[in-house]
Amino acid sequence: MNKLDIEIRLATEKDEIILRNFFSMLLSSHNEAVYNNEFLCPLGIKYAIKKSNIIIAFSIHQQCIVGAFRFYPNKKVNKISLYQFAISPNYRKKGIFRLLLEKFSDIEYIVKCPINIDFNYYYIKTGWTFVEEQNGFNIYSFSTLSNP
């Protein structure tokens, strides 16, 4: 995969059906990281697209979405709350998630992860910083400025 082959952009209404299918293929209620059924709600994706709150990685060569993340700006603290993300299995460990995060290179991301699940190790091994434990969740932060 060539990084020039990947276009990072905001999702548009034209992407909605493909994006819903993408998330439904990769996220399920059986996945321990899916701790809220809203992650699976098609209306949530529609709303996030309307609010420009989904970034996608689109493979120009394959003509498909290979990664996506849904976020919400937290203007009070000038951070972005990462709400959900998924990367196609064939594109994992190739820097796609990092490319998505670099779309906003001058801001800090925050994410919460249930304390008792293995997915916490993903955040630790990929350079996220543990911030605190809060109401049954570990809170992590990440900045592309501090993780070049």
Q: What is the mean pLDDT of residues 48-61?
A: 93
Residue 47: give the domain boundaries: 3-143
CATH number of domain containing 104:
3.40.630.30
Q: Could you tell me if 105 and 144 are in contact, meaning their C-beta atoms sit under 8 angstroms apart?
A: yes
Report how far Cα 121 is from the mean position of its chain's Cα atoms.
16
Q: Is the pLDDT higher at 26 or at 107?
A: 107
Give the rounded percent of residues in the chain with a pLDDT score beyond 70: 83
Split at pLDDT 50, 70, 90, the class of 35 is very low
Considering the domain boundaries, does residue 14 fall inside one? yes
Q: Could you tell me if 6 and 59 are in contact, meaning their C-beta atoms sit under 8 angstroms apart?
A: yes
Considering the domain boundaries, does residue 29 fall inside one? yes
pLDDT tens column, 114-141: 898 888 998 998 889 999 999 999 999 9
Considering the domain boundaries, does residue 148 fall inside one? no
Q: Which amino acid is at 23?
A: F
pLDDT above 60 (res 47): yes
Look at the pTM and tell me if it is higher than 0.85.
no
Q: How many domains does the chain have?
A: 1
Separation CA 117–CA 108 (nearest Å):
24
